[in-house]
Amino acid sequence: MRAAWSKLLRQCGALVLLGLKDTGLHRLEDTGLHRLEDTGLHRLEDNCPDKNTVHFTPMAIERTFAMVKPDGVRRGLVGEIISRLEKKGFKVVQLKMLTPSRELVEEHYAEHKGKGFFAGLVDFLSGGAVVAMELEGENVIAEWRRMMGATRPWESAPGTIRFEFATTVDENVAHGSDSPDSAARELGIWFR
C-alpha cells in the first residue's frame, strides 16, 4: 500500500488526494483509511490526468441487515456497535429493538433447519431483545462482516467486534448478511 500511495502522490502532487492539503493530513494512514478501496479509488493509473484533480470511481452503495444479538443487548454493547458503524461512515437507515418470536427467528435461519444447532439457536435468539438494523454504505455487506469478525471469536482478528466482545461461538454478539441476496431476504423478514 505504501508504494501505491507514494506513486499516487507523485502522480497527483502531494496533498491533493482527498483534499488532504485542507486538513493538515499528509498520509493515507492519517485519514483512518488503510486500503486503496477505502478511498473510493479502484486504479492508480489515470486518476490524475491534469496533476491537480483526483478522479474517483465511487464504489456501489449497498444495503444490508445487521443485528445486535441478545448477548450484546444484555451486556450493553448496542451503543458501542452503532458508534463503530457510524464512525466507519455507514448510515443506519432503520433500527428497531424487539424480542423476536420463534417463528421470526425460524424464518430468518431457515437454511439451518434440521441441523443439530438449530433449536438452540432459535431458543437463544428468541430468548431476549435484539436490535435489528438496516445499514447503507459503500461495500457495507463485506465491510460489516469484516468489522464483526469470524463466527468463532477465537478466529476473529484483533479489533473486531467478536474478538473484543464475543464469549462463545453461540453468543457472538452480532449478525450480518453475507450477500446481497441474503441482505434483501433478511431485510424483508425483519422490516416488513
* Closest residue by Cα to residue 104 from 71, 126, 135, 73: 126
pLDDT, one tens digit per residue, over 134-186 is 999 999 999 999 999 999 999 999 999 999 999 998 899 999 999 999 999 99
Rounded to whole angstroms, the Cα distance separating 38 from 24 reads: 19
Residues 100, 106, 111, 112: is their CA dihedral positive or negative? Answer: positive
pLDDT, one tens digit per residue, over 99-127 is 999 999 999 999 999 999 999 999 999 99
Amino acid, res. 150: A
When pLDDT is cut at 50, 70 and 90, the band that residue 27 belongs to is very low
In this prediction, residue 58 carries a pLDDT of 62
Higher-pLDDT residue of 192, 18: 192
Q: Is 72 exposed, middle or buried (0-12, 13-18, 19+ CB in 10 A)?
A: buried
pLDDT over 90 at 10, yes or no: no
In this prediction, residue 97 carries a pLDDT of 98
pLDDT over 80 at 32, yes or no: no
In this prediction, residue 16 carries a pLDDT of 37
pLDDT over 80 at 15, yes or no: no
Q: Quick one: average pLDDT of 68-90?
A: 97
Considering the four listed CATH numbers 3.40.630.150, 3.30.70.141, 3.90.550.10, 2.40.50.40, the one that applies to the domain covering 61-190 is 3.30.70.141
User: 148 CB contacts (<8 Å, ≥6 apart)?
Assistant: 156, 160, 161, 162, 173, 174, 175, 176
In this prediction, residue 60 carries a pLDDT of 81
Sequence spans of domains, the chain: 1-58, 61-190
CA dihedral 59, 65, 70, 72 (to 10 degrees): 10
Rounded to whole angstroms, the Cα distance separating 171 from 34 reads: 30
Rounded to whole angstroms, the Cα distance separating 10 from 74 reads: 51
Active site residue 175: yes
pLDDT, one tens digit per residue, over 50-78 is 555 554 556 789 999 999 999 999 999 99
pLDDT, one tens digit per residue, over 34-52 is 444 445 544 444 444 455 5
Q: Which residue has the cell 433478511?
A: 186
